[in-house]
Structure formats: structure tokens, C-alpha cells
């Protein structure tokens, strides 16, 4: 029996890192200006990191100029790395929805164009099912039909990190960020759409089953 103890302990040590890795997942989300969405999601409990970037288009290694020209097919996105033992993908999506305007498919807030469209890029069937359920819950909470929800849900494609000066923009450029966010009317519109639930991850009023 004593001879088995080292083997058991060794097995536990080997399995533990694998379990930790399995708990770490990525979510790729587009919701208008990536400075804002990164800032809104990076401090959510269970989120490990949030990185601004581009996804959805046909240009490899795109630049900000290419994406903002609306010719690359990419959206501004945030890749959120999260610990699924601390926050589920479904709960992370609750935070996402309450930080965007899901009724606007032509941009977000003052930013207009394809590169600012709201999109949920899903990885695998579980994320796709959870995303569809979250869209139904969002529609129910807002008292609109599912067809009024303009957030696209599509399979993930390659994520391209944005330039260094875009990363952690809200924290590195606090005055400019606050002015931009205020002048863009982001929070005013969020309050108008979501009311007291704006910018929160509280449970849905009516939870749609995945």
C-alpha cells in the first residue's frame, strides 16, 4: 500500500496542470470599439485576460488602418481568456450583452460600419448552443422578438492581435478614453437599452434553455 502512495501522488501532480489548462477557455467577442469592450470585460471575476484584436475577415495580419477602411471584412474584437471554474461561458455572455447595443447591427454607438458590428465568434458546439440561448434570453429581457437581435453568431476564425498601442488603452490613456467613451454616448445608450442591468452580469429575467 505504501508503495502505491508515491505513484498516486505523482499521478495527481501530472493530472493537475492538465485540469488547470482544461479550465482555461477563450471567447472572441465583437461589440464596437475594442478599447471599450476590453475595459468592460477584463475585470470581470474569472476573466484572466482581455486582448484587443481583429477577426472575421479575409486579410491576413490586418492593420488598424485596413480594418477601419471597411475593406478587410474584419471586426474589432476582444479575445477574453477566462477560467471556466470561476465563470461559465454563459455568464460571461451575460456581461457581454449588457455592454453592447444588441438592437444595432450596423455598428455600435457612434462607431458605424462593418468593422464595428456586434458578433459572437463561437468555438465548438457548446459555445454555439450557449450563444444562441443567450440571444434568446436577451430578446426576452428586452421584450423584443428574436429577429430584432442583430448580434451575429458565427464560427470562430483566426484572431489577429491588434497593435500594441491599442492594448489596455483605457488604463494607459485614461483621459482620452473617458472623453471618447462619453462623447460616443456608449453608457447613455446602454442605460437606455438595459436600464439598471446595464454593464452587469446579473441573471437573465427569463432564462432561455440551451
The Cα 202–Cα 164 span in angstroms is: 32
- Which grid coordinates are listed for 39? 475595459
Q: 37 vs 60, 100, 186, 203, CA distance in Å? A: 23, 8, 11, 20
Tell me which DSSP letter residue 156 carries.
-
End-to-end CA distance of the chain: 46
12 by DSSP, 3-state: which?
Answer: helix
Tell me which DSSP letter residue 121 carries.
E
Tell me whether residue 39 is exposed, middle or buried, using C-beta atoms within 10 angstroms of its C-beta: 0 to 12, 13 to 18, 19 or more: buried
The Cα 25–Cα 86 span in angstroms is: 11
Say whether 110 is catalytic: no
> Side by side, which strands form the sheet with 75-83?
152-155, 119-122, 24-30, 75-83, 47-55, 160-161
In DSSP terms, which residues pair with 79 in a beta bridge? 28, 51
* Catalytic residue from among 33, 36, 110, 184: 33
The residues annotated with a catalytic role in the active site are 33
Amino acid at each position: 500500500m505504501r508503495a502505491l502512495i508515491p505513484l498516486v501522488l505523482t499521478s495527481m501532480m501530472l493530472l493537475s496542470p492538465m485540469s488547470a489548462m482544461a479550465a482555461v477557455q477563450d471567447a472572441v467577442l465583437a461589440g464596437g470599439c475594442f478599447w471599450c469592450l476590453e475595459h468592460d470585460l477584463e475585470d470581470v471575476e474569472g476573466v484572466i485576460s482581455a486582448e484587443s484584436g481583429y477577426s472575421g475577415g479575409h486579410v491576413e495580419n490586418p492593420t488598424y488602418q485596413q480594418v477601419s477602411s471597411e475593406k478587410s471584412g474584419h471586426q474589432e474584437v476582444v479575445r477574453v481568456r477566462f477560467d471556466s471554474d470561476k465563470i461559465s461561458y454563459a455568464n460571461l455572455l451575460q456581461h457581454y450583452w449588457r455592454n453592447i447595443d444588441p438592437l444595432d447591427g450596423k455598428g455600435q454607438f457612434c462607431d458605424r460600419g462593418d468593422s464595428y458590428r456586434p458578433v459572437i465568434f463561437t468555438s465548438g458546439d457548446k459555445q454555439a448552443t450557449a450563444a444562441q440561448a443567450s440571444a434568446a434570453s436577451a430578446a426576452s429581457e428586452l421584450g423584443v422578438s428574436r429577429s430584432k437581435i442583430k448580434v451575429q453568431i458565427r464560427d470562430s476564425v483566426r484572431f489577429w492581435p491588434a497593435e500594441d498601442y491599442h492594448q489596455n488603452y483605457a488604463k494607459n490613456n485614461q483621459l482620452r478614453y473617458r472623453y471618447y467613451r462619453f462623447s460616443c454616448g456608449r453608457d447613455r445608450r446602454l442605460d437606455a437599452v438595459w436600464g439598471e442591468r446595464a454593464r452587469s452580469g446579473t441573471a437573465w429575467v427569463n432564462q432561455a434553455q440551451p
